[in-house]
Amino acid sequence: MIEQHQDPRYQAIPDDFDINHNDNPEEIQMRVYFDLETSGLNEWKHSITQAAFFCPHTQEQLELKIQFDENEADPKALEINHYNRDVWQREAVMVHAAVERISDYLRRHACVEKISKKTGKPYQVAQLCAYNGKKFDGPFLQAWFRKQNAFLAADYKILDTLALAEFMLPHLESHKLEVVAKELGCFRDGAHDAMIDVFMLCDVTQTLETRINYKESAPCS
């Protein structure tokens, strides 16, 4: 955390996004940005319909359309996410296959060390970052893995760029991802496609972090 001073440049970064000052640079370098599109807002009732992950360091990306029960979906959510039944019938993978592919991806990007409560031995998980990750994407992904009785190989703390955007850009009336991206010159057409949103998220996060680093290094007036 940045030590607080009267100078506004030294206000503390939100607790939801303090990894920029982590002592382990690998956690920053190997950070995985992700976005979910879902069939509704309830993480226990609804499903993930599309998931996208991207690590700028490895340049490895993963995008999956996932099968789900359309009868249990919120029609408004599917409309917002531009759901196309024909596309999903052609491209969507089964849930268990999606779990396996996401798990493999996260294990390849593991960088946060944990200690097993059962064995006392160390192991590593991935560091995830999302937009509104603390309240939505993070809990939804965690619940989805629990429903499949699968281990999520990611740190429980999801870095939330929304908190960083609200902190750095308080003048904006809205902090939706596309609004913040336009403000920062990072906007891409195709919002609410998970992969497009991940690329915007990555650009927005890196731009905001660059501004933080600049403010920290600037001399006090």
CATH of the domain at 23: 3.30.420.10
218 in a domain, yes or no? Answer: no
* 18 pLDDT above the threshold of 50: yes
79 in a domain, yes or no? Answer: yes
pLDDT at residue number 215: 54
Task: Work out how many domains the chain is built from and give that number.
Answer: 1
3 in a domain, yes or no? Answer: no
221 in a domain, yes or no? Answer: no
Q: For the segment 69-89, what is each residue's pLDDT rounded down to a tens digit?
A: 999 999 999 999 999 999 999
Contacts of 117 (CB under 8 A, 6+ apart): none
25 in a domain, yes or no? Answer: yes
* Phi, psi for residue 216 in degrees, rounded to 5: -70, -35
Please say whether the beta carbons of 46 and 38 come within 8 A: yes
220 in a domain, yes or no? Answer: no
Dist CA 37 CA 192 (whole Å):
7
pLDDT band at 24 (very low <50, low <70, confident <90, very high): low
Q: For the segment 188-219, what is each residue's pLDDT rounded down to a tens digit?
A: 987 778 999 999 999 999 999 888 875 544 44
Q: What percent of the chain has pLDDT over 70?
A: 84
| Per-chain mean pLDDT for the chain | 87
pTM of the model: 0.86
* Phi, psi for residue 155 in degrees, rounded to 5: -60, 140
Domain of 25, in residue numbers: 8-213
Contacts of 106 (CB under 8 A, 6+ apart): 32, 53, 125, 126, 152, 153, 154
pLDDT at residue number 32: 97
